[in-house]
Amino acid sequence: MKKLLVLTVILFLSSSAALQAQSEVTPPDGLPEAAAYSIFYENYKNENYESAIRYGRWIWRGMPQTIEGYSRFELEKNLNRLVTSYSELAKEKEDPTLRSAYLDTTNMIFEKVFTELDSGQYDEFNWHLDRGRFFQENSNFIDNAMTKAAEEYQKAFDLNPEEFTKLADGYYVQVMVQQMSSEGMKDQALNYIDKASPYAGDKLSSFFDSQRNQLFDSPEERINFLEEQMQQNPEDVEIISELRDMYEQQDMQDKAQQLNEKLYEIDPSYENTVALAEFAVNNANTSNAVKYLKEALKKSPNDDERARTALKLSETYLNSGQLQDARRYAQQAANLDSDWGRPYIQIASIYAQAVGQCTSGRKMTRDDKVVYWLVLDYLDKARRVDSQVSNTVQRQYQSYQPVTPTTEEKFFKGWEKGDKIAIDGTLNSCYSWIGETTTVR
């Protein structure tokens, strides 16, 4: 008799469990799936989440791909509606036990999506993003919620770094990086900063710079990190460029130049060509500076950059005393940007240096001093086309005006104000290449 009673209880419990399992994957009240779905959807639209859950629970339990009699049913869309229903209902519950129960169920739906659906059946990026938001919004009620949120954001980032970085002006990538940093995951945080940096706007880039400064105890530590990153990614232009910049900041010029050359080999772009040119200029290597500046001039993306590159070429030639080449590229810069005063100041400097070259080893004559009127002509033109260079022009005026011909010298030569004087071989053979005219002042 006792054995029979035990067997009856076991059968009853087994039957109850089977009935409960069956009720979890079928609509309530014996309703057809289409009818239950219709009631669920209407309640969801009306934000009656309690009833929506009652008539829609079977959907996430059973995960049906189709519903007989309802051809437009989409499982992913309705799982998302159930996530909303459970999480919104959780907010309404003051009882922490009930709130936790609804949040646990919401998390179970997320988990079923990731474990039971194939990747092509749902939008992985948005589901990981939504789960991260779910953890973040409920961080006061879920253990280690921010850690879990950062993990979900990381998965979303890995699926589409550019889209994730740009979301909400970089808000979510900031949350992810800050959480990694707070947990002492320095290398991981820096790795994701480097991955996100190409897509970051000014505000997010400033945040990344701040995070880097907080994560590294010293420039040396940052350099070590970047060197390790470069070993793992020897062709990564972003990493190499950042390491090059760090070398330059720490005055490690030889290593910086090695990376300039490496960047040029990987991508001989305008920027990388200019970097080699600037290094050559700073190290007084005129031949290399000219070589790379001429190459950069051909690669310049627009007239503004071409003008600036041409002026750098002019300055390089001027510093090496090659005045005719210096003038040629200064004139090219002026032609490319006629509203820019610097090329005209450059030509003024070239002609002033011509006087120095021509009088080397002899005394300056009245004819030599005439060239300084031409120098002033170009300074006047610079100030006329570009008011921003007025202070520079004024300073140079104070240097050159006192060495122009004096009243006595003008009288001796018979020069009257307004007379035209050619600056060419008739003045002195040394000035034959200039071939311009100035006016007596």
Residue 6 has pLDDT above 60, yes or no: no
Distance CA 268, CA 279 (A): 15
Length of the chain equals 441
Residue 425 is assigned to a structural domain of this protein: yes
Distance CA 27, CA 39 (A): 11
**Where in the sequence is the domain holding 410, given as residue range(s)?**
339-441
Cβ atoms of residues 425 and 404 within 8 Å:
no
Residue 208 is assigned to a structural domain of this protein: no
Residue 353 is assigned to a structural domain of this protein: yes
pLDDT band at residue 13 under the 50/70/90 scheme: very low
346: how many CB neighbours lie within 10 A of its CB? Answer: 23
Pick from 91, 134, 92: nearest CA to 109: 134
Residue 253 DSSP SS3: helix
Instruction: Find the range with the poorest average confidence among 165-179, 232-246, 254-268, 416-430.
Output: 232-246
Which run of H or E residues covers position 438? strand 436-439
Residue 372 is assigned to a structural domain of this protein: yes
Residue 436 DSSP SS3: strand
Residue 365 is assigned to a structural domain of this protein: yes
- The confidence score (pLDDT) of residue 4 equals 37
Paired sense of beta strands 420-423 and 436-439, if any: antiparallel
Residue 184 is assigned to a structural domain of this protein: no
pTM (predicted TM-score): 0.58
Instruction: Find the range with the poorest average confidence among 22-31, 44-53, 238-247, 276-285.
Output: 22-31
Average pLDDT over residues 203-229: 86
Residue 438 is assigned to a structural domain of this protein: yes
- The confidence score (pLDDT) of residue 24 equals 60
Q: Is 331 left (phi over 0), alpha (psi -120 to 50) or beta?
A: alpha
Average pLDDT over residues 330-352: 97
pLDDT tens-place string over residues 153-207: 999 999 999 999 999 999 999 999 999 999 989 889 989 998 999 999 989 988 9
Residue 5 has pLDDT above 90, yes or no: no
Beta bridge partners of 436: 423
pLDDT band at residue 70 under the 50/70/90 scheme: confident
Split into its structural domains, the chain has a count of: 1
pLDDT band at residue 218 under the 50/70/90 scheme: confident
Bigger pLDDT: 22 vs 296: 296
Residue 379 is assigned to a structural domain of this protein: yes
